[in-house]
Amino acid sequence: MTEQPSRLPSFDELKIMALEQPQALEDLRTQLIAELIASAPECRRRRLEGLAFVIEAERRKAHNPMQACIKISRMMLDSLVELNASLDLRRPSPTEQPPTATVIPFGKHRRSLQ
């Protein structure tokens, strides 16, 4: 039988943990991430582990939590923009040449249709 995922505490409980038990909050965060990755299909796990690693590296490099939040939000926005561009079939890619055509001008006099 599969293990039940951990219950996410309410916002108020998380706030109290952040103020009074920051290590417990960090442990919960780590546990929830591990459970999410473990519950993903096998073909997605490696990518999720890599993404979790990159996010954790950005968190550690940041001078404060707000800087980490901004950096991670920027990463998500960049990813969304990239996804949107790849799905927008109306726009040619930057390496793709737009279609060309030869324009043939009409003569000065039009033939009358009779």
pTM of the predicted protein model: 0.64
Rounded average pLDDT over 67-86: 93
pLDDT tens digits, 23-65:
999 999 999 999 999 999 999 999 999 999 999 999 999 999 9
Which tokens go with 100? 């060309």
- Give the model confidence (pLDDT) of 54-70 as tens digits: 999 999 999 999 999 99
CA 59/CA 63 separation, integer angstroms: 9
Nearest one of 65, 56, 52 to 18, comparing CA atoms? 65
Between 14 and 93, name the one with better pLDDT. Answer: 14
Once rounded to an integer, what is the mean pLDDT over residues 73-89? 89
d(CA 48, CA 31): 14
106 or 60, which is more confident? 60
pLDDT at 4 over 70: no
In this prediction, residue 86 has a pLDDT band, given cuts at 50, 70 and 90, of: confident
3-state secondary structure of 47: helix
Mean pLDDT of 5-10: 83
